[in-house]
Amino acid sequence: NGRMAKSTDPATWATFEEAVAAVSRWRCDGVGFVFGPDRAFTGLDLDHVIEDGVLDAAYRWVVEEAGTYTEVSPSGDGLHLIFRGAKPDWAQRSRKGQPGGRVVEMYDHDRYFTVTGNVFEGRGALAENPGVVERAYRTWIEPERQAAQPTLSEAPVADVHMDDDALLERMYASRSSDDIRSLMAGDLAARGGDHSAADMALCSHLAFWCAGDAARMDRIFRRSGLMRDKWDSRRGGTTYGAQTIERAIEGCSEFYRPRERRAGRPSRQARPSRAKDKNVCSTVAPDTDGGDSPDEEAPDFETAPSVEGWFVDARGRLWVRGRDGELARSVTSTAPWVAADLVDVDTGDVRALVRVTVPGGVRERALDREVLLNQSKVIGALAPLGANVSSANAKDVVRYLTDVERRFGWARPRARSVVHLGWADGPLSAFMPYDLGEGGVRFDPSPDEAVKARPFMEPAGTLAEWVEGVAPARAASMAFRCVLAASFASPLVSLLGVQTFIVYLWGRSRSGKTPTLKAAGSVWGDPTEGADSYFRTFADTPKSIVRAAALLHDIPVIIDELQSKGAVGGQAGKRQVVEDLLYSLSLGHERGALNSDRTMMRAGSWRCLTIATGEIPIVGSSTQQGAANRTLELCAEPFGDVRAAQAMHHLVSAQHGTAGRAYVAALRRNDAAFYAGQFSSVRDAVCAAAGGHPQADNVALLALADALAQFYVFAPGSDWAACLEGAMLMARWALVNATGADGGDTDVKAIQFVAEWLVRNRLHFESSAEMDRLERWGSVEQYRDRPGFCWWVFSSVLDQALAGANFDRQKTLRRMADEGVLLPGSGRGFTRQKRFGDSRVYCVCVDNAAMEGLLERAAGAPPAVAPSQGGGPC
């Protein structure tokens, strides 16, 4: 059809006649012959062996002895020889350069030759000649390969006095017992589900322990969970199982010898060693038993080790060691090595702790093993450490690391590790990064996340100075206190098993929201802005914010400047985008996704609170109930003085990270049951006073955190009951000022807004408003028959104010009428007509005393917590 063909896709192949016809139709350059998966033919390609029409004498013998089809290649200076039959099973390589710039290639599958039909010296008959094929392979492709491996009947025999069961017991008692047991059980997990790789791995173990006894290897393999029909499937004149056993024996550099025989002669027949073959890692099956005797002494892994074919000198330079033991060439001046296996506490995955010696000392990084042993990825992983790794030597570096893994992987130390901040191994365990190394757990984030953990690594200033600067603002503003309590509450989420949620503070600009947010962040680390800082804004991509939450894990996420978020659809569109983001943060995990190979991508999770600020509300009448219940939205102004807000900016840039360390250390003085009991008491008290408020549980968590912060950080050793009393005052304020409540609670909030709006805009209701060039919004009228006054508010103006604050007009006025706050008129609605000048205007008439009484009743007394039966915290 004129399109490109593929040597590995039979659907793109055609018959010879069809291919020849297509050459003229599509003006192609020639016809290609495919060596298919059946390995029925073998092609020998000799490049640049003809000069001035004369065949080089070194290659004349193969043409004379082959007796098969030979043609001149398209270049005119090479030859193609095609044989019937396949290469030897053990012949794994396909190409090698020769002296004088010549190249020899040999293929029997997954390749093709462009055939010319230009027969060389009349040799046009196709024939089978396995002897010439093998000799050509040994001469040009792999000259270092010695005589063919012994046949299975010649292979040495294991100790005849030990039956199979006894031999298996010894195998299970070796250093590789875990791997052997899992393979015998048929477990493919360690081989990524690759059944053939597992077959090869078990046979490699058996080749060593059975001393190359193929019959015994086959007998034991059939007892394993890996046994399947494929084992006996035919492969030419042999079977898949026999081929696997032969390759395992060929790749085994030493056989097992029982201890009582070691003083005598070697238990295996002499045969060439592959110990110094620099390409051993890519041409033979890995020796999963360590590649050496089980009694071999392992290196200390403090420096890069030397293994067969490789030498690392005292300066850390990696060399290739030749077959004669001499150093052939230098690979890199900074040899990397795996110092330890890192077992992830959360998932059980094993990563590698890679170290490299560079000018200035030893640097290390935790890497996924798929990165470390991949030529295309290892450069980007090691180069930032200062390692001398490039495309020129990456292949050799990976081969060296693979050989070290094969030789000493069994002896490398293991360490438990986490990739996130916060509680390392469950609540009240080591807290990262404050408790590095405690409980035997390391903190090893991925390279791109390591820079984002820097704000938490070292504290700045002292706890006393931080408390001295933050305590006045906490005492002066309930909004500031709530946000700070949310920061201290974040580590309690996993401790108490509660749902994560959002604390969102909004209000007008220059009211101190940003310094309040930074003060909350300063509990744990450096909250100053920067590309890789702790401080985030809504202008960041949702993916980056979610990834930051996965790293923080138990430390709160802080996000500022909702108004900076751009979105289609104005404020409504912006509110919807942010609502979706905050809802996903409240779920505590990333959305599921697939890798390019259709496997599930690892999704991050977290158990922290999110604290955000902005100038517009995000919870409205259209907000989904799930998002509303997970968002504690507070409308307040934490700072009344701009200078105090600026002072807080300066304070937290110099004082941060001390309070969190003291707080976490103090939390460990009590067990989890104590905090569960305290939270139960606080929650009962808050819920009893909340009247069904949907944020009652969330406010209760903040109240407990506030009391603990007071007891452990702001006033250590103070009376626990007094700490709880102060926390309950904060809880009452939060319940009153939180949006998102259902029914009457939302109405009370709306009525409170109306009261504040009237007081704030009283000048618009005075008779002198027009003289002061102010728009007239109504009037204030004193009662003639009793003390007090009422507000006459233009209905249209009140409608705009309620809509701007995201309150429902009908619900609010109905509740005001039911509570006696509105003075009834003659009609059925909520408005009355009043004359202003020469016109009559529809107004809402509000009784000021009734409105104040309603708000006082709604506020009530602060919730009281029953005394703890076990006393206060330690």
Instruction: Give the tens place of pLDDT for each residue, 751-763.
Output: 989 999 999 999 9
Output the pLDDT for position 394. Answer: 92
Q: How far apart are CA 223 and CA 600, in angstroms?
A: 34
Other CB atoms closer than 10 Å to residue 236's CB: what's the count?
Answer: 11
Same domain, 432 and 476: no
Using DSSP's 3-state secondary structure scheme, residue 472 falls into helix
The closest alpha carbon to 162, from 95, 257, 75, belongs to 257
Is 868's pLDDT higher than 70?
no
Using DSSP's 3-state secondary structure scheme, residue 267 falls into coil
In a domain, 159, yes or no: no
Q: How far apart are CA 281 and CA 259, in angstroms?
A: 29
**Residue range 666-676: average pLDDT?**
94
Banded pLDDT at 323 (limits 50, 70, 90): low
Domain end residue (candidates: 432, 456, 480): 456
Cα-atom radius of gyration of the chain, to the nearest Å?
A: 40
Q: How far apart are CA 106 and CA 139, in angstroms?
A: 12
The strand ranges marked E within 151-287 are: 234-235, 238-239
**Residue range 156-179: average pLDDT?**
76
In a domain, 229, yes or no: yes
Instruction: Give the domain range for residue 566.
Output: 463-670
Q: What's the chain's average pLDDT?
A: 83
Output the pLDDT for position 154. Answer: 39
User: Is pLDDT larger for residue 76 or for residue 585?
Assistant: 76
Domain end residue (candidates: 629, 645, 670): 670
Q: Measure Cα distances from 834 to 346, 775, 779, 831, 844 in Å.
A: 70, 17, 10, 10, 10
Q: How far apart are CA 763 and CA 775, in angstroms?
A: 9
Output the pLDDT for position 144. Answer: 65
Banded pLDDT at 11 (limits 50, 70, 90): confident
Residue bearing tokens 């820097």: 454
Same domain, 228 and 315: no
User: Is pLDDT larger for residue 541 or for residue 24?
Assistant: 541
Four-residue CA torsion sign, 21, 24, 27, 32: positive
Banded pLDDT at 711 (limits 50, 70, 90): very high
Q: Read off the DSSP letter of residue 559.
A: E
Domain end residue (candidates: 361, 391, 418): 418
Is 567's pLDDT higher than 70?
no
Same domain, 608 and 530: yes
User: Is pLDDT larger for residue 621 or for residue 801?
Assistant: 801
Q: Which amino acid is at 544?
A: S
Q: Are 801 and 825 in contact (CB under 8 A)?
A: no
In a domain, 62, yes or no: yes
Q: If phi over 0 gives left and psi between -120 and 50 gives alpha, with beta otherwise, what is residue 722?
A: alpha
Output the pLDDT for position 679. Answer: 95
Q: Are 479 and 587 in contact (CB under 8 A)?
A: no
Output the pLDDT for position 161. Answer: 62
Q: Are 85 and 130 in contact (CB under 8 A)?
A: yes
Using DSSP's 3-state secondary structure scheme, residue 412 falls into coil
Residue bearing tokens 């809504």: 538
Same domain, 613 and 505: yes
In a domain, 444, yes or no: yes
In a domain, 697, yes or no: no
The strand ranges marked E within 69-217 are: 69-72, 79-84, 95-97, 103-107, 111-115, 127-128
Q: What is the pLDDT of residues 452-473, one digit of tens each?
A: 899 999 999 999 999 999 999 9
Q: Measure Cα distances from 673 to 551, 679, 707 in Å.
A: 27, 10, 17
Same domain, 410 and 451: no
Output the pLDDT for position 156. Answer: 44
The strand pair at 610-614 and 69-72 is best described as: unpaired
Output the pLDDT for position 860. Answer: 60
Count Cα atoms within 13 angstroms, Cβ side, for 138.
12
Same domain, 389 and 434: no
CATH number at residue 19: 3.30.2250
Same domain, 47 and 182: no
Banded pLDDT at 96 (limits 50, 70, 90): confident
Helical residues (DSSP H) of 191-343, grouped into ranges: 195-209, 214-221, 240-251, 280-283
**Residue range 796-807: average pLDDT?**
90
84 strand-pairing partners? 41, 128
Same domain, 186 and 131: no
Q: How far apart are CA 368 and CA 370, in angstroms?
A: 5
Same domain, 348 and 368: yes
Q: For a pLDDT cut of 70, what percent of the chain falls above it? A: 85
Output the pLDDT for position 290. Answer: 40
Q: How far apart are CA 730 and CA 739, in angstroms?
A: 16
Output the pLDDT for position 27. Answer: 74
Same domain, 452 and 498: no
Q: How far apart are CA 687 and CA 701, in angstroms?
A: 12
Output the pLDDT for position 571. Answer: 59
Q: Which amino acid is at 647?
A: A
Same domain, 136 and 19: yes
Same domain, 449 and 388: no
Q: What are phi and psi of 282, to 5 degrees?
A: -105, 0
Q: How far apart are CA 309 and CA 319, in angstroms?
A: 9
In a domain, 573, yes or no: yes
Q: Are 759 and 807 in contact (CB under 8 A)?
A: no
Number of domains in the chain: 6
Query: Percentages helix, strand, coil for the chain, rounded to the nearest 5?
Result: 40, 15, 40
**Residue range 470-490: average pLDDT?**
95
Output the pLDDT for position 666. Answer: 95
Give the 3-state secondary structure of 606-627.
Answer: CCCCEEEEECCCCCCCCCCHHH
502 Cβ neighbours under 8 A, 6+ residues apart: 582, 585, 586, 609, 610, 611, 612, 630, 631, 632
In a domain, 719, yes or no: no
The closest alpha carbon to 479, from 268, 635, 629, belongs to 635
Q: How far apart are CA 586 and CA 493, in angstroms?
A: 12
738 strand-pairing partners? 634
**Highest-pLDDT range among 104-113, 421-430, 825-834:** 421-430
Q: How far apart are CA 318 and CA 313, in angstroms?
A: 7
Q: Are 465 and 640 in contact (CB under 8 A)?
A: no
Angle CA 564–568–571, to nearest 5: 60
Q: Measure Cα distances from 662 to 459, 521, 658 in Å.
A: 11, 15, 6
Output the pLDDT for position 2. Answer: 67
Is 320's pLDDT higher than 80?
yes
Q: What is the pLDDT of residues 251-303, one digit of tens each?
A: 777 788 775 543 443 343 433 443 334 333 333 333 334 444 444 566 778 88
Helix (H) or strand (E) holding 487: helix 478-489
Output the pLDDT for position 778. Answer: 93
**Residue range 531-559: average pLDDT?**
86
Q: How far apart are CA 175 and CA 408, in angstroms?
A: 11
Q: How far apart are the first and last CA of the chain?
A: 82
The closest alpha carbon to 456, from 520, 533, 531, belongs to 533
Q: How far apart are CA 621 and CA 740, in angstroms?
A: 9
Q: What is the pLDDT of residues 54-80, one digit of tens each?
A: 999 999 999 999 999 999 998 889 999
432 strand-pairing partners? 422
In a domain, 389, yes or no: yes
